[in-house]
Amino acid sequence: MPQRRSADPDRYLPHHGSGDYVVDHYALDLRYRVEPNRLEGVARLSVRALAPLEEVRLDLVGLRVTRAEVGGKAAKFTRKPRSLRVRLPRPLEAGATTTVAVTYAGNPRPAKGPWGETGWEELSEGVLVAGQPDGAPTWFPCNDHSGYKATLDLTLTTDAPYTVVANAPVATVTRRAGTRTWVFERTEPLSTYLATVQIGRYDVVALGARETPRVRVARPAAQAAAVAHDLDRHDELLECFEELFGPYPFGSYTVVVTSDELEIPLEAHGTAVFGANHLDGTRPEDRLVAHELAHQWFGNAVTARTLADIWLHEGFACYAEWLWSQRSGGPSAQALADEHHARLVRAPQDLVLTDPGPERVFDDRVYKRGALTLHALRTRVGDEAFFALVREWTRRHSGAVVTTADFRALVAERCGAPAADGLTPWLDAAPLPAISPR
């Protein structure tokens, strides 16, 4: 597994996650009834101690726990509104492993926090999970810290008319009277907030002509023509990003289009979710299609250790929008950089990119200034060195977690210390630097 030591506490999520242990694997066996919004589940966790451990503290919100086991035997547990503590029968030494199983049930609801509501959310016909940044505990017990990654096995039984989409391709579907049981392939290592379930009256069809990775779209039948029109260049988009960023990092990618309108699209490991308003047959949000696909490299494969470094996700994904705009016949990356720089100059100069503060993690200035930082670096070192750097970033860190310090170090290694030093005013100071023309 990529993690070998305790992750630093996330200052922006102070009550989430534990640095005393990691979960190397989650196995979730869930049953969900759509009409009453009733979830029942058993979560089995492969736990490895990073420090001497007497109990396992898990994040879990709004669901009732009826049983806990350690090593296959019943264990004592204590439940609080946002956590579950499972007592170990005997202490674990650092490096030792055990299994923890939790049986739970309830009516899952989004969690309310500084960023609005996140997690399990009912749609008019089905469910979506919006995990970022703190929504995972609304549907399964977990060590909710983006600095840890684990593989995931998922089995979900639900009402027969509904289709289930998750992070990995479907392995089997078993039909019984009134229900279907969906078993998914094991995922690559992922952070808990990137685990997802999408349930709806969807048809799942191939998207584009590529066989590797497996690219699919899940959408209501009534939206088939509109979605096909708006995604008709998806193969070209994927090829563009593989050329610039390196091979697509996972075995599959599924675009989900809900029948509901959504405020913003959502990304998860191997999936992206759009509302009916985003793909309506007029190609209104082409840039967002590019943005969400780019997150598979930047955010999902290469994941920031803490939220303070969210620019490593959003800056790259925003810059990917600009690169695709230029490739697809729209405004050039330079033109878009000039446009957004002019806007940011007029905005308050009070945001530090590497520590925006929890209330401004998703401030649009983080996105645009992050993209401008990358454009400034590209302007300084040239296209060949810049894109070689980006491909090395994704190659070296895919499946792992990173910090801004890791990015600076790679820039210094590949492009020299002056290039790395040139990032300082962009990353560490509030005033917006000038941007050099190409």
Question: What are the Cα distances from residue 288, in Å, to 118, 295, 319?
Answer: 20, 11, 12
Listed in sequence order, the residues at least 6 apart from 233 whose beta carbon sits closer than 8 Å to its beta carbon are 328
pTM for the complete prediction? Answer: 0.96
Per-residue confidence of the chain (438 residues) as pLDDT tens digits?
A: 444 455 678 999 999 999 999 999 999 999 999 999 999 999 999 999 999 999 999 999 999 999 999 999 999 999 999 999 999 999 999 999 999 999 999 999 999 988 899 999 999 999 999 999 999 999 999 999 999 999 999 999 999 999 999 999 999 999 999 999 999 999 999 999 999 999 999 999 999 999 899 999 999 999 999 999 999 999 999 999 999 999 999 999 999 999 999 999 999 999 999 999 999 999 878 999 999 999 999 999 999 999 999 999 999 999 999 999 999 999 999 999 999 999 999 999 999 999 999 999 999 999 999 999 999 999 999 999 999 999 999 999 999 999 999 999 999 999 999 999 999 999 999 999 998 766
* Domain limits, CATH 2.60.40.1730, in the chain: 1-200
Q: Yes or no: is domain 202-296 CATH 3.40.50.1370? A: no
- Enumerate the CATH 3.30.2010.30 domain ranges in the chain, comma separated: 202-296
Q: State yes or no: 314 annotated in a binding site.
A: yes
Say which of 367, 384, 392, 413 is annotated catalytic.
Answer: 367
Angle at 397 between CA 305 and CA 144, to 5 degrees: 30
* Active-site pick, 121, 285, 292, 321: 292
295 has binding-site annotation: yes
Q: Does domain 304-428 have CATH number 3.40.50.920?
A: no
32 counts as catalytic: no
What angle do helix axes 311-327 and 404-415 make, rounded to 10 degrees?
Answer: 50
- The Cα–Cα gap between 393 and 246 comes to 9
Residue 296 to residue 270: CA distance in whole angstroms: 7
1-200 homologous superfamily: tricorn interacting facor f3 domain (2.60.40.1730)
367 catalytic, yes or no? yes
Provide the terminal-to-terminal Cα distance of the chain, rounded to the nearest Å: 41
From the list 10, 268, 53, the residue with the least C-alpha distance to 147 is: 10
Residue 181 has a CB neighbour count (10 Å cut-off) of: 17
